[in-house]
Structure 1
């Protein structure tokens, strides 16, 4: 009688590549935080920059997508790990008519090492797709007439006489 094979579990494909990118990111972050103190605290070590560069290379060569949160913390220009107050500055801008439109807020993350800036929308909700909007709208003429009839029909409340 043949041995039963253990059932194949659905794991993460290329798990070793994910582990490698995670290690490179953690090492670059650690070296950036502990590289220098004092006046040159915003300058990451050359090894931290090399690890950030290696992280980008590994993810591109192996076609492993980095998460959006991880990508937002790496400078595209110099591969520095962006740490608020240390290697990055965060400001919120609103260039709309004196800042009157709250949905037009933009988070600007600036790299203090190379001066590059990233811009991310803040507070704006993503618009629904056209198909989703059509699903919510009444589709037939009968539904529209029923909806309008329900809105125009006055509601009477019973009154009690004392």
Structure 2
């Protein structure tokens, strides 16, 4: 098949045509591996803390030393992967996404997981209304990022606002009903319903009268 003309149909994306494809794949692998190892180190320490409450003192000491060693090894390996990821990106002049950068500590290259390796706080800011502060639990290095603005959308199904009947217009005082209006309201009577009227009963078939009952009224 021939090649498409310029400005004709849309070009099909070609994965082999991406610049620095090998570097991007390597950076992606290093980042995923560092995140996985960091989560594995925190989960292993939590599981060990739960099992230590049931075992004896000697077993607790032995298991605590083993758990500390494994968790430290995993966290150190995670930091090493994150540091090599930064070095490769700086050497190859490949810009990483700001969202990925904010998940890593600048000082110790720890993956910041809220609640385990980082404490997240929302603080007021003078330039921005609010700012998010990430504090690393390993080296106590903090990083402040402006909070994204929160847009409050108006509700879609809202009735048109206008002057209500009960509220008076501006400049006019609410008028109380006069005596004539009160008398007219008192004089009005409701009509008697049909089932209570004593006027008789008539049965028709088409235009012919089949049955006619006349109620006897008291004179």
- Normalising by structure 2, what TM-score? 0.47
Based on CA coordinates, which of the two structures has the bigger radius of gyration?
Answer: 2
Q: How far is the alpha carbon of 1:52 from its aligned partner?
A: 1.0
Indicate yes or no: 2:122 matched with 1:116: no
Aligned residue number for residue 150 of structure 1 = none
Structure 2 residue aligned with 1:82: 112
> Could you tell me which of 89, 96, 112 is aligned with 1:66?
96
Deviation by residue 1:78-105 (Cα, 9 ceiling, x = unmatched): 1111111111111000155xxxx9x421
Deviations 1:52-110 (A, max 9, x none): 111111111111111011001011111111111111111000155xxxx9x42110011
SS for the counterpart of 1:49 is helix
Q: SS of the residue aligned with 1:93? A: strand
Specify the alignment match of 1:55 in structure 2: 85
* Shift of residue 46, structure 1, vs aligned partner: 1.1
Separation of aligned partners in 2, 1:21 and 1:105: 32
**Aligned position for 2:159:** none
What's 1:104 paired with? 129
Unaligned runs of 5+ in 2: 4-10, 50-67, 151-219
TM-score by length of structure 1 reads 0.62
Higher relative contact order (CA 8 A, sep 6+): 1
Q: How many residues align?
A: 118
CA distance in 2 between partners of 1:64 and 1:95 (Å) = 32
Per the alignment, residue 28 of structure 1 pairs with: 34
